[in-house]
Structures are given as C-alpha cells and as structure tokens.
Amino acid sequence: MQPTARRLTTDLDHRSRPTNRSIGTDAVSQVYGNLGDGTAITRHVLTGGRGLRVSVIDYGAAITAVEVPDKRGQPDNVVLGFGDLSGYLTNTHYIGAICGRYANRIAGGRFTVDGAEYQLTINERVIGPHGGANHLHGGSRGFDKVVWTSRTFATDRQAGAILAYTSPDGDEGYPGQVTATVQYTVNDNNELIVAYKARATRPTPINLTHHGYWNLGGSGCGDVLGHQLTLHCDRYLPVNRAMIPTGELAAVANTPMDFRRRRAIGKAMEELGGGFDSCFAIAGPVGTLRSVATVRHPESGRVMTIRSTESGVQFYTANSFDSRPASGGFARHRGLCLECGHFPDSPNQPHFPATIVRPGQVYSQITIHRFAVE
C-alpha cells in the first residue's frame, strides 16, 4: 500500500466542543485499519479535562494526533501525521512513533558488553568522504515497525493507554529479550505524560524515545521557522561527519546552539548554516524530572513545555523531509522534534550516562508535555 500524502492531519474531528472549561476525561478505542495478514490495528483516543485530546495507535505505539486549543479556543492538531494506517506502514521518518530498542545512533552498529562484541543492523549510511554506517533508532525493524499490545484506562482526572512489546533475543542483533511498556496519559492539567519501562534477560543497551514532529501552528500552517524555542541546556554534543558524538560536552555559549534564551528557530538556523539534528545535555541531575524546553508559536498563542528525567534531548528540524509520501507529503522543516533520551552512541562512550540494562534492573524514564496559551 502507498501512504496517503497529506498536510498536518487530524483524525479527531471534535472542533465544536467547548475548550474553556473542564469536559471530563475519557478513553475510546476503535479499529484504525488492518495489516496485510488481517491483524487489526487499534486507535485509542484519550481526552483530557481542558481541551487536550490525543490519538494513539498500537502500530509503532505511534501518536497520530494531539489536539489542543489556540488562544481563541479553536482546537487543532499540533503533530504531523498520516491520514491513514498505510502511511505508518511505509514511514521512513519515524513520524509519531516510539523508537527502540536503542533510539538515536550507535556508531558502526557495534558495541561491547562484558567482553562480548555485538553487531547490530546497519540502517543509516552518512554520505561523504568521511561518512559512516550507523545503527539508527533500533534498526531496520525497530519498535516503530511492530504491533504493540494495548489497553486503556480512565479516571475522573486522567485517561491513558498502556502499550507493551516484547523484543526477542537477537532482535536486530541485540542480546537478550526485552519487555517494554509505554504509557501515554492525558490529564486535566493539559499534560501528555509519556512513561517508559523496560526489563531485559541479558545485559543490553536500552534507550526509548517518542519521535513526534511538533508544529504548534496547527493544520496547514507551514514550517516551524517562526516557532520560538528555549532549551534548558548549557552543553551540547559535537559530532563528527558520520553524526556520531566526538565525546566532548561543549558549552553552548557563543554558538548557534545557545537556546538558553528564547530564539526563533529560523534565525538560529541562519546562524548555523542549516537545520538542526543535535543532542543537548539537559541541565540538572539525570533521573530527576526537570525542565527541558519551551516552544512557543506567537500567532496561535500555543505554548508547549517539556520536562524529563533523561540525560539529553535531540533537537531535529525535519531536514530530510522532501514532500514525498514517506515523509507524509511534508516539505522540509514542517515539524520539529525534541526527543528526550540517552546520548547517541552511549554504549561506546563510557563517560556518558550508562545505558546498559541488566537482568533484575528496570529501565525507566518519564517525559511530560504541557500545553497552554498566552
């Protein structure tokens, strides 16, 4: 099947509902489509109490829509997505999905644990005389390309979906079986909470993240160059020509990477000489919930703040979008990613925060998106 190329889509048609008062929480499930073997894919629509509505499917544990009101009370979808299931089946840009077993890059697809070397699937080749071959976002069939089991819950103040997937020993070259869960929760504080847990039967690197492309302007508003970004990050990770960290944690001061004060993304890209695909070190102790970023869209008044327990955040401006079906029909820079997770290539860089999960340990992280208007 070929994906349906569309603009910023919303599969949640609830534009007439009031948004200036609590409307109650709810979780509703329905069939979203079917795989070629007949497997039914379910969509869960999660409603918060103050205008937030999130759609999740159990293919890739992908978020297909996040609907929030603007300063006039008009709701709209603020994440990029496909119009139907076929787009997600051929999605090469991880749009809306969970990435794993290890999100981001591992140099050469190789790492060593307890003296044993492992070779992972190579699914990224960086072109150029000094380019390289990397393992990216879990490989050719990562967590974004599998069917998760799912169930929903709802209380007076929150609603959510819990999705689970078991990755077998040897999957994409990784050692050990990994059982992962992702819980999406919306509440009456206009928050989308993404909580991750995973366990392994053998020592293995784990790094999960949500690869959402945000555009707070809503449907058909164009690129994100006018969005304003603040990052609570004093340092970033310089990379080599193969997009692998050099190992340095460099100061952002006096560089185009300095978002400690609010900056327009387009202006920062002019200073950089191109789009961003950079990992920043989140200030504060790893493992504690702390401020990561604030994104503002002046025209709509929408504001998104992010908090996370993770060590880093990958800021990406959809540089490889080309308006073709695999990128949802979206042109370059139509969305921005803020992927909270471990640093790239951490299994090969022991001075980075540890990513190896051993039997009996629990991988756990939480990232919270809160929406408001100003």
3-state secondary structure of 316: strand
Task: Return the H-helix or E-strand segment holding 136.
Answer: strand 133-136
**Which among 211, 227, 333, 342 is annotated as catalytic?**
211
Q: How would DSSP label each residue in 26-44?
A: EEEEEEEEE-TT-PEEEEE
Any idea what the Cα angle at residue 95 is, between residues 127 and 18, rounded to 5°? 150
Any idea what the Cα angle at residue 260 is, between residues 257 and 262, rounded to 5°? 100
Question: Are 173 and 118 spatial neighbours (Cβ–Cβ below 8 Å)?
Answer: yes
User: Which one, of 175, 194, 172, lies nearest residue 185 by Cα?
Assistant: 194
To the query of whether residue 210 is one of the catalytic residues in this protein, the response is: no
Residues 93 and 344: their CA atoms lie apart, in Å, by 17
User: Which one, of 329, 326, 333, lies nearest residue 8 by Cα?
Assistant: 329
To the query of whether residue 271 is one of the catalytic residues in this protein, the response is: no
Beta-strand pair 158-167/149-154: antiparallel
Backbone angles phi, psi at 181, to 5 degrees: -130, 145
Residues 249 and 315: their CA atoms lie apart, in Å, by 16
Beta-strand pair 290-297/228-231: antiparallel
Number of H helices, E strands in the chain: 2, 28
User: For the chain, how big is the Rg over CA atoms in Å?
Assistant: 19
Tokens standing for 264?
A: 């327009």
Question: Are 343 and 163 spatial neighbours (Cβ–Cβ below 8 Å)?
Answer: no
**Which among 67, 191, 310, 339 is annotated as catalytic?**
339
User: Which one, of 259, 316, 264, 269, lies nearest residue 291 by Cα?
Assistant: 259
Residues 168 and 180: their CA atoms lie apart, in Å, by 11
Residues 57 and 65: their CA atoms lie apart, in Å, by 10
Q: Which residue is associated with the tokens 């990562």?
A: 142
| Residues recognised as catalytic | 211, 339
